[in-house]
Amino acid sequence: MKTLHFKAIGICLFLLGLISPNLSTLHAQNENSEKEDPIVVFSYMKSKNGDYAKMEKEIWKPYMDQEIKNGRMVFWAVYDVAFPSGKNTEYDFVTINVYANIEQLENSWIGYEARMKKIHPSLDLTKLGKRTEDSRDLVWNEAFRLLSSADSDMNEAAKVIVANRMQSKPDKYNEYMRMELNTFQPAHKISVKQGYRKNWHFLSRAMPYGSEYEYDFMTFDSYDSMSQMAKATPANVWQDAHPDKDIEAMWAELNPEKLRTLMRGEVWKNIMYANGTDKKMAEK
């Protein structure tokens, strides 16, 4: 869904290139973005009626599939926030737009009207705007750099995501990042291979930024089901990931709580996604 306002964030895109670390460990999407991290934009939505999910499926999914086919973005998905839930929650859906780099993000909505008309020739864009506003409120947009994944394959959305918002401790930003990349990532890769999870992602805040925001990183623990999510990862996974170390001594020395604070964890369930094939889609 169209939720970005580039006139307002143009300066932020420039500053992002100056202040954000280039720490990508993912395979390049193309030759021009070889040293750039993918950008993930999260849009938090509060639905007003049952038309919101229907509109995303009927209007926006076909459009996003074509955008991916045309190389204008990498991936798109809509998640229902399973926990927390209820009428007093700030948002109940999250859309995820993944771009190969900042340039792709910046250009993503230029001329979208003409492309939308190719997908939906009879669509009245004015009526679509009203339908959009009537179906949901856009609560918040934020963009993160995707620093690393256990599996870089983005062809299929995880059915369940545990979204963890992390705040690094003062002066521990780089140390915390090294812990995720050097200690957790190897174990999560083995966990994926052995079927204990679908994926894991590590992201750092890009926009907006500053000390006002309560978390500077996110980790995604991704699963094929809530049953898979509930199963504990066996100790052998950690030993296989770090065969030359005593695991108990490693944890005692590392002590993650000294490096970061888990600010909030949420559970999201996928209801649809686009990967450029227009064939694979989870149903709510």
Are 183 and 261 contained in the same domain? yes
Are 159 and 81 contained in the same domain? no
Are 78 and 126 contained in the same domain? yes
Residue 280 lies in a domain: no
Say if residues 128 and 177 touch (Cβ distance below 8 Å): no
Q: So what's the pLDDT on residue 20?
A: 36
Q: So what's the pLDDT on residue 154?
A: 75
Are 128 and 214 contained in the same domain? no
Residue 272 lies in a domain: no
**pLDDT, tens digit, 9 for 90 and up, residues 115-144:** 999 999 999 999 999 999 999 999 999 999
Are 152 and 254 contained in the same domain? yes
**pLDDT, tens digit, 9 for 90 and up, residues 2-55:** 544 433 333 333 333 333 333 333 333 333 435 699 999 999 999 999 999 999
Least confident of 6-15, 106-115, 161-170, 175-184: 6-15
Residue 284 lies in a domain: no
**pLDDT, tens digit, 9 for 90 and up, residues 236-260:** 999 999 999 999 999 999 999 999 9
Listed residues 145, 173, 204: the one ending a domain: 145
What mean pLDDT value characterizes the chain? 88
Residue 278 lies in a domain: no
CATH classification at residue 177: 3.30.70.100
Are 67 and 124 contained in the same domain? yes
What's the predicted TM-score (pTM) here? Answer: 0.86
Are 188 and 113 contained in the same domain? no
Say if residues 220 and 267 touch (Cβ distance below 8 Å): no
Residue 276 lies in a domain: no
Residue 222 is part of which domain span? 148-266
User: Is 166's pLDDT higher than 80?
Assistant: yes
Tokens of 101: 């780099």
Q: So what's the pLDDT on residue 78?
A: 98
Give the pLDDT band (50/70/90) at residue 277: confident
Are 168 and 87 contained in the same domain? no
Count of structural domains within the chain? 2
